Amino acid sequence: MNGNYGIPRDIYYVVKIAAVSVVKLGLVIAATLIAFSISTSLFVNNLWLLLLFPINSAAIAIYLLLPTNGGKSNWQSFYLSLKRHKKFWISLS
C-alpha cells in the first residue's frame, strides 16, 4: 500500500508548527530581522533603544497577525476599515 486511502488532501491546508502557521512565523521573524538591521544604523549610541525597537516591532507584527472576530487577521481588519472609510478622513492641515 502506498498510504492513499481515497481521501483527498485539503486544498486550503496550512502547514503549522506547534499550532502556529509557518507563513505567520516567517513574517514575524522577517520583521524582527529587518528591525534589527534598521536599529543598528539608527540607534548606535543608545543600547536600550537598540534592543527595544526590534522587540516592539516583533510585538506589533504578532498583534497584526493575530486573528480577530470576523475570522480575519488584524491587519486585514485595518485595511478593510481604511478602504471602507477613506472618504471620511479629514486632513488636519
Residue 70, pLDDT above cutoff 80: no
pLDDT tier, 2 (very low <50, low <70, confident <90, very high otherwise): low
Helix (H) or strand (E) holding 17: strand 16-17
Residue 59 has a pLDDT of 92
* 3-state secondary structure labels for all residues of 25-89: HHHHHHHHHHHHHHHHHHCCCCHHHHHHHHHHHHHHHHHHHCECCCCCEHHHHHHHHHHHCHHHC
As a whole number, the mean pLDDT across the chain is 79
| CB distance 53 to 44 below 8 Å | no
Please check the confidence at residue 67 and state whether its pLDDT lies above 80.
Answer: yes
- In angstroms, the CA 20 to CA 14 distance is 9
> Which pLDDT does position 54 carry in this prediction?
87
